Structure 1
């Protein structure tokens, strides 16, 4: 092993300004931060020097493409901290850095004014100032050149009024010498994505269960007929599990049995058969034309389509015979199937990302994504990305977004926190979370404080799901209807992105395949289900109301202003979000006990909410339609889970979405 290199000698350098603590900065600039178009990028940095000289700082920003760098002044926040805010207006990778310099004019002006105020002689100081201004006049152009030359003459004549001449400070900011200019040691990046990456409500369903005939396999045409139902609940994204041909070898049977009978459908994640692989549509679902029609129908209803990307193959996937080198072989020559001991997945072959032919493999996988983009799909839910190399995802996402910056990638990685975070840094637009298993008030406070606090908030966009086809928590199994309502409100208001797996969620499906399991009984992963979408116990109308509240209140469509407020009952979780653009603040109170009525006082940070502590204010319950007049920070709430386990309050004035709304008992 080679010995470490010796530290470099310290260079002789007369520069005096120090720039450090730049934010946002992910892993010393190794990865870009994230924003969406129209979302503020606030850059902060510590900029200081020795002694008593003043410093100045600026933010240099380079938009994507061949656009020139633009300078933005930074303002002091105190304690040598500086800040500047820009609002990216286009997609792509933006670059930025911070520069600083000793502000010789500012230092001179500040000291000279103090001497004038003390009645001291400033004749020499005026001549020093005249030299600074005269030098700037030589660099200036247009009206600034005239102004600076005139002020220099005034100062040369010993007239102290020149120190405070109108326009002098602004002109000197533009033309005063910055030498020696100090530039931060790194150029940092921020990836700016489209608005849907920042917020959205997702709905997942299986097209094969969409048939109106319980004895017939559903098609994409049937699924298109279900889209008005999904749109009526106010969802933005409809997500389909894999729609490809399903392998026949080692096909799984109902309830994940290791053997299948004739007619068993198998798991959509066992991708590939003689009909094709990752760019083919399962024949029983239809054709590529049917998918195109599905995408068009969704668009006409104001929704986008997300497709599942699962980079794995069934044993009879065409790649297994065409590219056996893309798979890992055992000593006996057989291909290694997927395992998560003690679980075995004989119907799935993992891909070997480190094969000798890895470059061709990576290109082929990227081509899969490009193929579906060619069919109008630009949102992808990626299955198990944590079982593939980080470097692969970093390359693939950057390559795709270079040509298609509108592409959005959701990471489905329920794994160790550092791995989840690394995937987000590698480029995933959004990430599944531990939300399903964070159930007590203290767990939710701790977890979502972490997710919405730098540095994680600059890289990791949470997408909260109370259930998925793989996740039916014990709480959902035993909490009854109240816990489904509670989890819906929490997911939709704690996180700007959330989703549900339906119709299982709105129909309160809660039966597990076995005690202690989180797998659904008769899971759609292995068979078709028949759902009564018009069942009287459906939560569809409540879901529609919650999504309408989200759309009507921009405060809920971002995560950076999430703040938790204390309560005197640990079964009550209280939090707020404020709109950075100045819209109506939203306050949420949730009873996290699905079995008992809970009451107590919430203690609000009124300054955070923009509420005058000396005046009464109105809170309008957007779920239950009631209005309350509150005063001060401590106010009483009482929530019965059998009626509604949550309040979603608009604060200060009624919301613009103001209609009577029935209670959901």
Structure 2
């Protein structure tokens, strides 16, 4: 039985209707087969050049210092620069609503004025000075943007009540399903709201020279709004947009980066919930095979939401915390550090009250510094298409040891993690990774010959960096 290619079969059927000769069909088929295949990248936006090997840090201004101000935080910039931080994400800086406020100080995410600065944090001049100082030091600064909802006493409530969603009896209401009683939800079917929100975001880029936004609950806002706003912002300067969401669709024309909630969940499941490695392996497989090659994923062991509502990194990852930090910094993605993590902060910060971080020297700062220095200089760990794809290294203990390689141009990094509470001796099928390596933290040398046996203590990890000739 002769099996024709689908396209040829379609052309053959069409020939019966259009009197196309067999010779013409064959010639058309040859032309199709001879045409080079040029795949089109799913991600259509252009990332800012500086983001290709960047790291990110979430700044909780209120809790960062006893003063809780932009000026006080500014003194920490040299330390963060030395640790290897590139992008400073500042939690919302706008005035906070008073009506239905939570706690004494309220939630940053109940915005009263999209064009104003929360006086508790400082003045507009103070904020501009922080942006300028970050830029002078070679860092970039984005601010949190709350587009889905506002406080009950935002001026828009009285000026444009039609811009808000309503309950069936026509009253303002909080965002359904969540306990966000201090805010009310916008209706993005209103063209005027879309224009207002776009103009407000343009204002901050144009007037303060910030480098972009972290967009709160981005999936609650229509994608076409974000896509249009991105194009408008890029006319002012190349911006960086981070979505608090996990969806490949947001990467196409709007966002540089989305959250990798899934990686956090998978690591948490293995380290403290006693689950096997299958879910984590599945995440990595999906990341390689189904996620846009040039989409950035933000990887983390903590952020303000996890810290406020789900415990600390210590409770969420237990004795596997260091291994999880290393894993999150070497898989495909951009690693995040939350305020205080580098100081080993082991408590949840109060969300609506003053609760200053206690700063101290801690080994985590050294771990982050080593990892981020490597990320800056080794192309294997760069972001999106600029970095190396994760290639699984098979081993004989797949339910204990996670092993993979990343390679780009002449750079190669191998991550080996005993992601279990038991010691293990493992044999790596490292035939394609032969060579001399230096371990990132111990600086010991390793020679991989292709069928290598290594021993690990519980939760021990190695990051092997290939030596160059």
- TM class by smaller structure: 0.7 to 0.9
Q: Note the C-alpha offset of 1:636.
A: 1.8
The yes-or-no answer on 1:227 pairing with 2:103 is no
The residue that corresponds to 1:309 in the other structure is: 145
SS at match of 1:308: strand
Q: Note the C-alpha offset of 1:200.
A: 1.8
Alignment partners' CA distance in 1, 2:448 and 2:105: 57
The residue that corresponds to 2:285 in the other structure is: 449
Paired residues of 2:266 and 2:279 also in contact (CA < 8 A): yes
Q: Note the C-alpha offset of 1:564.
A: 1.0
Q: Note the C-alpha offset of 1:249.
A: 1.0
Alignment partners' CA distance in 2, 1:286 and 1:623: 40
SS at match of 1:200: coil
Paired residues of 2:437 and 2:466 also in contact (CA < 8 A): yes
Alignment partners' CA distance in 1, 2:303 and 2:217: 14
Alignment partners' CA distance in 1, 2:219 and 2:32: 49
SS at match of 1:285: coil
Q: Note the C-alpha offset of 1:652.
A: 4.2
Alignment partners' CA distance in 2, 1:474 and 1:15: 70
Distance 1:509 1:339, change over 3 A: farther
Alignment partners' CA distance in 2, 1:452 and 1:322: 48
Distance 1:652 1:507, change over 3 A: closer
Alignment partners' CA distance in 2, 1:501 and 1:625: 27
Out of 567, 572, 576, the position equivalent to 2:401 is 572
The residue that corresponds to 2:11 in the other structure is: none
The residue that corresponds to 2:242 in the other structure is: 410
Paired residues of 1:425 and 1:459 also in contact (CA < 8 A): no
Paired residues of 1:411 and 1:432 also in contact (CA < 8 A): yes
Q: Deviations over 1:201-229 (max 9, x none)?
A: 11112112233xx3xx4111111112122
1:428-577 to structure 2, matched below 5 A, reads 428-433=255-260, 434-439=262-267, 440=270, 441-453=277-289, 456-458=291-293, 460-472=295-307, 476-478=313-315, 482-503=319-340, 505-511=341-347, 520=348, 522-523=349-350, 525-535=351-361, 537-558=362-383, 559-569=387-397, 570-577=399-406
Aligned residue pair count: 438
SS at match of 2:258: strand
TM score, norm. by length of structure 2: 0.85
SS at match of 1:549: helix
Alignment partners' CA distance in 1, 2:20 and 2:86: 56
Point out the structure with max Rg over C-alpha: 1
Gaps of 5+ in 1: 1-7, 19-46, 58-73, 75-81, 85-95, 98-187, 254-263, 415-419, 512-519, 612-616, 655-665
The yes-or-no answer on 1:291 pairing with 2:127 is yes
1:583-602 to structure 2, matched below 5 A, reads 583-593=410-420, 595-602=421-428
Distance 1:335 1:17, change over 3 A: farther
Paired residues of 2:58 and 2:337 also in contact (CA < 8 A): yes
Alignment partners' CA distance in 2, 1:470 and 1:224: 24
User: Which structure has more RCO (C-alpha within 8 Å, separation ≥ 6)?
Assistant: 2
Paired residues of 1:451 and 1:460 also in contact (CA < 8 A): no
Q: Deviations over 1:460-487 (max 9, x none)?
A: 4211122111114679343677433112
Q: Deviations over 1:533-572 (max 9, x none)?
A: 224x451111111111111211110455211111212211
1:591-630 to structure 2, matched below 5 A, reads 591-593=418-420, 595-606=421-432, 609=433, 611=434, 617-630=435-448
Q: Note the C-alpha offset of 1:251.
A: 1.0
Q: Deviations over 1:579-629 (max 9, x none)?
A: 1xx222111101212x443331221241xx4x4xxxxx3121012111122
Alignment partners' CA distance in 2, 1:498 and 1:331: 43
Out of 221, 242, 250, the position equivalent to 1:423 is 250
SS at match of 2:45: strand
Paired residues of 1:469 and 1:501 also in contact (CA < 8 A): yes
Q: Deviations over 1:642-663 (max 9, x none)?
A: 7xx2111112438xxxxxxxxx
Alignment partners' CA distance in 2, 1:528 and 1:653: 50
Paired residues of 1:618 and 1:651 also in contact (CA < 8 A): yes
Paired residues of 1:210 and 1:226 also in contact (CA < 8 A): no
SS at match of 1:463: strand
Out of 220, 229, 243, the position equivalent to 2:93 is 243
Alignment partners' CA distance in 1, 2:250 and 2:23: 39
SS at match of 2:179: strand
Out of 205, 210, 215, the position equivalent to 1:377 is 210
Distance 1:408 1:339, change over 3 A: same
Paired residues of 1:328 and 1:336 also in contact (CA < 8 A): yes
Paired residues of 1:247 and 1:316 also in contact (CA < 8 A): yes
Alignment partners' CA distance in 1, 2:213 and 2:88: 11
Distance 1:428 1:83, change over 3 A: closer
The residue that corresponds to 1:201 in the other structure is: 55
Alignment partners' CA distance in 1, 2:370 and 2:356: 25
Q: Deviations over 1:221-253 (max 9, x none)?
A: 111112122112101111111000011111112
The residue that corresponds to 2:461 in the other structure is: 646
Bigger fraction of residues in helix: 2
Out of 436, 450, 454, the position equivalent to 1:637 is 454
SS at match of 1:471: helix
Paired residues of 1:252 and 1:526 also in contact (CA < 8 A): yes
Q: Note the C-alpha offset of 1:459.
A: 6.2
Q: Deviations over 1:54-76 (max 9, x none)?
A: 9643xxxxxxxxxxxxxxxx4xx
The yes-or-no answer on 1:265 pairing with 2:100 is no
SS at match of 2:342: coil
SS at match of 1:470: helix
Bigger fraction of residues in strand: 1
